[in-house]
Amino acid sequence: MTQDSGTWLDQAGARTRAVRSGIKRSSELEHGEPIFTSSSFLFESASDAAAKFSGDEVGNVYSRYTNPTVRGFEQRLAALEEGECAVATASGMSAILALCMTHLRAGDHVLCSRDVFGATVSLFDNTLRKFGVDVTFVSLTQVDAWRAAATSKTRLLFLETPSNPLNAIADITELATLSRELGAILAVDNCFCTPALQQPLALGADIVTHSATKYLDGQGRVLGGALVGREELIAPVVAFNRSCGPTMSAFNAWVMLKGLETLDLRMRAHSDNAQVLAAWLQEQPLVERVHYCGLANHPGHELASRQQRRYGAICQRPRQPDQIADQAGDRPTDRVRPEEGNGNKCEEPTPHIRWAHLLAPTIHPGNECGTTGAERDGNHQRRRARWCPRKSEAGHAEQRRRGHQP
């Protein structure tokens, strides 16, 4: 069997689909997915070329149209979101632009949450208005506000949940009901959760948008975006990409394919770390408020618990971060990422809380600060002492041995 597809894969769990979906092995029977960097492809005959160019037959023509590596990424992402199909784009913003240019026209009306990415606001408020599209920004969490602002010309409801960076939570199911009443498309930016934590299509959304640059890649290597949904909604976007060109490169698609393989593991670690960090910040006297939907006192906590498998990696930056770090005797921000520093050793823990630390970096337990392979077996308690806010007495003793003050 040379292709990982079929009924068995459709019935497989998300982690299996993250590794096996979208693979079509060549006659070389390679283990890993190849990168098809070719700009164009060959044809058996002139009639074969004509049929593929016209779309009468499925096949590769030109990499702005189709590319095997990009197609593999699209199929894998669609499998994880449990959508019919996906289209990959050059960036997250190009995905949103392609959505709007495909499904909107002059005179249409868009409802958009106020709590969206800044570039999305600029796209809707500046660019789309030039083409005669009216846009109204409403509160993310107030369904009644969406309903009150809707008109007979509303064609698109756009939101991201959880929002950036306050972690506000939208009721996707309620807004899906409203969009159906209006005959409009509900598009949900799932960038913060990814399909590992949330599946908006299953909650009633029509289209899911992604900035694949963020968690889908996971390591800041390449740019990318995607739309996932029903074929009738995605097919026009594919046609737009063919004509206008905001397509994903084969190399970027291959990197994203590798990122999807570890997505579930990374999102679990991100979420678990953010939960610990948010709880610690909440206890600090100089922190007025912590915006993290994993906290029980967050206004969207109950809704997030229903819609999401975990609460994600983002919690809002506290007030006066340097003072908090200086006055807190027990700092989770000592948990500098293990890869920082020179070689395999980390620099000394920083006393400052920076924005990057509030994004709950993934812990890599096999590469502790300043350790060798021979030390790792006995490092579980030391790791817990170093990375957990409430250090044990054993952890304090370990830090004193290393020359740090607890």
**Predicted local confidence at residue 3, as pLDDT:** 45
Residue showing tokens 């819609």: 307
- What is the tens place of the pLDDT at every residue in 37-65? 887 777 788 888 888 777 777 777 766 77
For 87-102, letters b (16+ CB in 10 Å) and e give bbbbbbbbbbbbbbbb
The rounded mean pLDDT for the chain is 80
Name the band, by pLDDT with cuts 50, 70 and 90, for residue 393: low
CA angle, 122 then 126 then 130, to 5° = 150
Q: How far is CA 247 from the centre of its chain?
A: 18
User: In the chain, what is the straight-line distance between the N-terminal and C-terminal CA atoms, in Å?
Assistant: 57
pLDDT at 387 over 70: no
Q: Which residues of 106-123 are buried (b: 16+ CB within 10 A; e: fewer)?
A: eebbbbbbebbbeebbeb
Residue that has been written with the tokens 């700092």 in this structure: 331
pLDDT at 154 over 80: yes
Q: Which of 163-167, 237-241, 281-285, 384-388 has the lowest mean pLDDT?
A: 384-388
pLDDT at site 197: 97
- pLDDT at residue 209 greater than cutoff 80: yes
pLDDT at 354: 35
Cα–Cα nearest to 221, from 267, 256, 193: 256
pLDDT tier, 356 (very low <50, low <70, confident <90, very high otherwise): very low
Confidence bin at 17 (pLDDT 50/70/90): confident
Instruction: Give the type of residue at 171.
Output: D
Angle between helices 92-103 and 231-244 (to 10 degrees): 110
Domain boundaries, the chain: 3-261, 263-401
d(CA 370, CA 375): 10
pLDDT at position 51: 83
Find how far residue 82's CA is from the centre of its chain: 15
Split at pLDDT 50, 70, 90, the class of 402 is low
For the cut 70, the answer to whether the pLDDT of residue 307 exceeds it is yes
State the pLDDT at residue 137.
97
Tokens at 134, concatenated:
């009216």
Question: What is the C-alpha separation between 149 and 330, in angstroms, rounded?
Answer: 48
Lowest mean pLDDT among 62-76, 123-137, 212-226, 272-286: 62-76
Q: Residue type for 218, please? A: G
Question: Can you tell me the mean pLDDT for 92-118?
Answer: 96
Q: What is the largest CA-CA distance in the chain?
A: 77
The CA distance from 147 to 181, in Å, is 10
| pLDDT of 168 strictly over 80 | yes
SS3 325: helix
Q: Which fold has domain 3-261?
A: Aspartate Aminotransferase; domain 2 (3.40.640)
Question: What pLDDT is attached to residue 55?
Answer: 76
pLDDT digits 0-9 by tens, 87-103: 999 999 999 999 999 99
pTM: 0.74
More confident residue, 62 or 212: 212
Asked if residue 372 has pLDDT above 90, the reply is: no
CB atoms within 10 A of CB 62: 15
Tokens representing residue 116 in the block:
């969206």
